Every structure is written in structure tokens, then in C-alpha cells.
Structure 1
């Protein structure tokens, strides 16, 4: 049984919901961390509902409101595989519920992840039977890339943005993820940002807004 998720929402600036962007936050953060991106993107996406669910688990690394999609204690491949398998259905069910809430189809859905949230967005988005319109991943990595060929169910266009000076997830993760997606025929656009650590800069925000505006049905 999927665990219920909820978090802050931002109504479309136009008053009419024609597309849905779901933010998937990083380890130790919560849904409040990314919903501000929706405010920054409203001009480019006026007909878009933005929602940023809190991950289902408390995070011991940040006991003051921090959440996690799954633990990152060992930080090895098996921990990622097990964690994604457990948390994936939670996010997947949430996406179905949000689309139903707004009367939208998969062509109106985009996922935007950061760090652990990018792992989640790639894992869930590429396996959704109904598909989705677009996926944006900041400062993340595709986990268990070897399994993707046998499990992929959707090939949305993907934008990857990563800091060249990322101190948590090395910049090499960008090429690893890009190459793995290309091997399974997922259209991918990758940008390495010089001088950027583990975060999102102004150019990354601009790239994300433009990418979503191009690919989301009814984005405005």
C-alpha cells in the first residue's frame, strides 16, 4: 500500500490548470524547499499547477523538518536500489492522484527533481505506464542503470543540469546518466555548470523553465 504524500501547492497564475509540475525534493529537505521554483516559473508556465510533496520518512540527518525518500546511510548501489523500490510506489500513486485531482492526462505532467529527488524522478518517471511529458533532473544520478532497459515504460524528454564543482554527487554523474538514458533511446539534454556546487543556479532555472514550456501540453 503506497504511503500518502502531501505538500505545498501553487495554483496556476492564469487560474486555469492545463499542466502539472511535481517537484521531488532532495535528502534532508522537504516540499517547502522547491515550491519557490514554481513561483519563479509562473511567468513561463502560467497555466501550470505546481506541487511539492514531502517525502514519506523523517530524516535523522535533519531532525528539524527534514524528510527523506529513503535512507542514505551506506550510500551504495544496493541501498539506492532498495530505497527506490520502496519509495517509488508512493510517488507514483501521488502522481496519479494529482492528475485526477486536476482532470489532466499524462501529456500534461512533468517531474522536476533535485539530488535524491532526481533519483526518484528518473526511477518513477521512466517506469510510468501512462508516460509523462517531460522530466528535469538537477544535481542527481540515475541509479541501477543496468536494470533500466528491462523496466523502462516511458521515454519523456529529459533535461539534466549538474554543477561541475558538486561536492556531494560528482559531476561525472551527469555523463553517466546521460549515456545510460541515450542507450535506451530517451531524448536527453545535459548541461554542466562551471563554478556550481550541489545546487541550482540562475542559468539552471532558466533552462528548466524553457524546457518545460516547450514540452508541456497546455503549459501556457
Structure 2
């Protein structure tokens, strides 16, 4: 197993004077935190009180000399991924808690947004929380379910392109089946003709879901 580490990461302060919510972007395999932080300008008008962070994944990518990974995908059996995701999720938890403490926020004011492998670890992390997150958005992801589903109160939004050539659209149905079995509130959007990426319609859908999930 490659060494796990926390690196300095990009972040964007809220438009408002004080952060009332925290958005945590979780990028995909072989990318880094600079990827999803670029979505911030598309979201700030709707989420002006949010502090955005985009951590770099905790390991160097092991299939290329550049990029990061949350855990290795050399062995893609569910059992192996369930084993590898645990220490990475623990370190990601530390990153989130450290920033929450700086901002005087908790899970209840924290929004998780993942893409691809970032959705995998974001979903896993959401399901093991004792205190629920405000919401979780998963783009183009796959379920790596924990040994026990502790948190059933975080509303989850799934968005996936039906032309995804990297993570098949059927993976969204697998997640939906799991969430339905555990009585977890969810919403899902299939984007026609979209490959393994995020488009404007997905962002719009995610923002509406976040707004609808916000407690009054």
C-alpha cells in the first residue's frame, strides 16, 4: 500500500462574511483537488455562504507518474476495495473535521460532492457517519458499501451520464437499490448522451437538491 498523506489543497472562501456551510469536493481517479474546485464559480451564486474545499486524494496515483487516488483500483473486487477504502476514509475524515473546526461548523452544515472515485469514497464516508451530513452529491460513481450502514439521514443525490464509458450507468441503479433497501432519501438524474463528466444540467440538478435539502 502506498503511503497515505494529507497535502495542502485549494479552497475558496464564501461570498458572505462568514461561512455557514462547508462544501467538500472529492475528485476522481488520477486527478487532484484543482479539478473540481473549478466548479466553485458555477455554484457560488446559489451557495454564497459556503466555504469550498477540494482536498487532494491521499495517495499518489499508482497507474501513472502524476495525479492522485483515494485508494488503488488495481484490484477491483468489492472485498479488496472495501479493505483499501477504510484508511483513506479515516484520513479524509481528519481533513474534513480539521476544516469544520476552523470554521466552527459540523457535519450538519457540510455538503459532500464527489465525482467518480470521489463519489465512491464520498458515499462510503456518508454512510458511516454518526452525525449526518447536510447532503451528499455523487456524480458518475459506484457503491462500495461499508460493513454496516450507520447513517440513514443524509439525503443523497446521484447524477450519471447514460453514455459513461468509464463507470457504467448501471452502477447508479445499484446505488439506488441499496439506498431504497436502507430507507435513505435519494434523488437521481440520468443525463442523456453524457460521457464520464459533469455538465451544466447535472450542476443545476445538484444545486436544486442542495437547496431543497437545506433545513429551514
Equivalence for 2:186: 188
Aligned length: 213
SS in 2 for 1:180: helix
Aligned counterpart in structure 1 of residue 199 of structure 2, from 198, 201, 208:
201
Deviation of 1:5 after TM superposition, in Å, equals 4.7
* Alignment partners' CA distance in 2, 1:151 and 1:209: 26
Match of 1:47 among 45, 49, 53: 49
Deviation at 1:217, TM superposition (A): 5.3
Q: 1:175 deviation in Å? A: 0.8
Kept in 2, the 8 Å contact 1:128–1:154? The answer is no
User: Residues 7-55 of structure 1: CA distance to partner in whole angstroms, max 9, x if unpaired?
Assistant: 1000001232000000011110000000011121000000000000001
- Superposition pairs for residues 88-127 of structure 1, below 5 Å? 88-127=89-128
Contact kept? 1:92, 1:128, Cα under 8 Å = no
The answer as to 2:165 corresponding to 1:164 is no
In 2, distance between residues paired with 1:216 and 1:21? Answer: 13
Higher relative contact order, structure no. (Cα contacts within 8 Å, ≥ 6 residues apart):
1
**Could you tell me which residue of structure 2 aligns to residue 80 of structure 1?**
81
Q: Say whether 1:33 aligns with 2:30.
A: no
- Counterpart CA distance in 2 for 1:123 and 1:5 is 21
Q: CA deviation at 1:194?
A: 1.0
Return 5+ residue gaps in structure 2 as ranges.
none
Unmatched 5+ residue regions in structure 1? none
Alpha-carbon distance between aligned partners in 2 of 1:125 and 1:3, rounded to the nearest angstrom:
21
TM-score normalised by L of structure 1: 0.91
1:144/1:17 CA distance change after superposition, 3 Å: closer
Matches for 1:15-34 after TM superposition, within 5 Å: 15-34=17-36
Shift in Å, 1:6: 3.5
- CA RMSD after TM alignment: 1.7
Matched with 2:140 is 139
Does the 8 Å contact 2:124/2:145 carry over to 1?
no
Instruction: State the partner residue of 1:4.
Output: 6
